[in-house]
Amino acid sequence: MDSQRRNFIRLTSAGLIHVATRPFTAGASEPADTKLLVRQAAQRGHTDLGWLDSYHTFSFGGYFDQRHMGFRSLRVINDDRITAGRGFPTHPHRNMEILSYVLEGALQHRDSTGKGSIVRPGDVQMMTAGTGITHSEYNPSKSEANHFLQIWIRPSLSGLQPSYQQQRVDAGDKKNRWRQIAGVDKQHSVVTVHQDVRIFATILDPGKSLEYLVQRGRHAWLQVATGELVVNGTKLQAGDAVATSRPTDLYVEGSTRAEALLFDLG
């Protein structure tokens, strides 16, 4: 059985839903792909601790589903909301790349590398846990809730030196275009990830559209963070995602003002 067939079976066994897509147009040398796979927001795991309201795209904490253990090196996408003045106390991580992408409010970070900062919408924060790191994350506001995506990626190597990165990307740089915010390529990425992955962000206005070509041998996961999108004719809302492991043209159209992340994975 070839690798593409194995990937296809693994994805379909994960309970993701087939939907029809527009024809692939990248070139006659590539096979046509007429399928995408959908992970619906309503099917995610959920944790409600009062101060934390979290939805889990993949198995995490008390939510376990062997059909949803990640996608390639993408292990966690948690859609977290933290009430004012609360947060995660100091806790450890090892051998994981952890990205925080704030959508609303602010997130105060402190870690054992000595770094401390406040992360706001537009900031891209990446932490390499490596051989071991401890950190805390709090909502520093006394009145406003925080909303952010917590993303974990398995690194290509274990035992890396723990490190911290934070860079700002203006909203205009993401407006109606794909902006690469993270990746192994230091030249084109805002922050560096120790894995064969490129992460793009966009803020798409209603009626605007983008395309993205998923090359042969690559795998794509598109996560809707806010608003509503149409991807290859399929309506998606905040928390929904689509995935493919085949060469595909993704056609992304804004229904409302929407923010999304696209993971191009090896």
> How many Cβ atoms sit within 10 Å of the Cβ of residue 161?
9
What would you report as the CA-atom Rg of the chain, rounded to the nearest whole angstrom?
Answer: 18
| The two three-digit tokens of residue 24, written as one number | 């692939």
Range of the domain at 12: 3-265
- Name the amino acid, one letter, at 123: D
Non-local CB neighbours of 28 within 8 Å, separated by 6+ positions: none
CA distance 77 to 57: 5
Q: What is the pTM of this model?
A: 0.87
> How many Cβ atoms sit within 10 Å of the Cβ of residue 209?
13
Q: What CATH number is associated with residue 70?
A: 2.60.120.10
CB 139 within 8 A of CB 107: yes
CA distance 176 to 135: 34
DSSP 16: P
Burial zone of 236 (CB within 10 Å; 0-12 exposed, 13-18 middle, 19+ buried): buried
pLDDT tens digits along 47-62: 999 999 999 999 999 9
N-term to C-term CA, the chain:
19
Q: How many helices (H) and strands (E) does the chain have?
A: 2, 23
CB 261 within 8 A of CB 231: no
Burial zone of 141 (CB within 10 Å; 0-12 exposed, 13-18 middle, 19+ buried): middle
CB 99 within 8 A of CB 246: no
Domain count, the chain: 1
CA 202 to chain centre: 12
**Paired residues of 89 in beta bridges:** none
CA distance 11 to 1: 15
The residue with tokens 């803020």 is 203
Length of the chain (residues): 266
Per-residue pLDDT of the chain (266 residues; tens, 9 = 90+): 333 333 333 333 333 433 333 333 333 333 334 489 999 999 999 999 999 999 999 999 999 999 999 999 999 999 999 999 999 999 999 999 999 999 999 999 999 999 889 999 999 999 999 999 999 999 999 999 999 999 999 999 999 999 999 999 999 999 999 999 999 987 889 999 999 999 999 999 999 999 999 999 999 999 999 999 999 999 999 999 999 999 999 999 999 999 999 999 99
